[in-house]
Amino acid sequence: MDEKYFSRLNQYRSLWVLVFFDLPTETRKDRKIATSFRKKLLDDGFAMFQFSIYMRFCASRENAEVHIKRTKKNLPPKGKVGIMAITDKQFGMMEIFYGTKKQETEPPSQQLELF
């Protein structure tokens, strides 16, 4: 059936939350903190985009807020962390390259997926 019956799930409503971080790794303790921050992102459903950029698809603004809030709660004491949310539409317009070869951007999570 056409989109008119599924208006709640469109590219402008769904968001991608991106977390960028630079954490100190000088001492053993710092590394431990950095690893645990990364592990918590993974537990929360984030996936690695680049070494210190993690991203997560969220079906709605409310849902994105939940994950932003959770990330804020887990912030390490030192280091720089950026959190950003953009719409799926904007995310889809990103251009990704491997060398000079163009790559497809990550498709959004579908409400229904068949494996």
- Known binding-site residues for Mg(2+) equal 22
Task: Return the residue of 20, 49, 63, 89 that touches another protein, per CB under 8 A.
Answer: 63
Asked whether position 6 contacts another protein by CB under 8 A, the answer is yes
> How many Å apart are CA 37 and CA 20, to the nearest integer?
12
Minimum distance, C-beta of residue 46 to another protein, in the bound complex (Å): 9
> How many Å apart are CA 10 and CA 20, to the nearest integer?
26
**How many whole angstroms from its chain centre is CA 95?**
16
Q: Where along the sequence are the contacts to another protein (CB under 8 A)?
A: 1, 4-9, 39, 42-45, 47, 56, 59-60, 62-63, 109-115
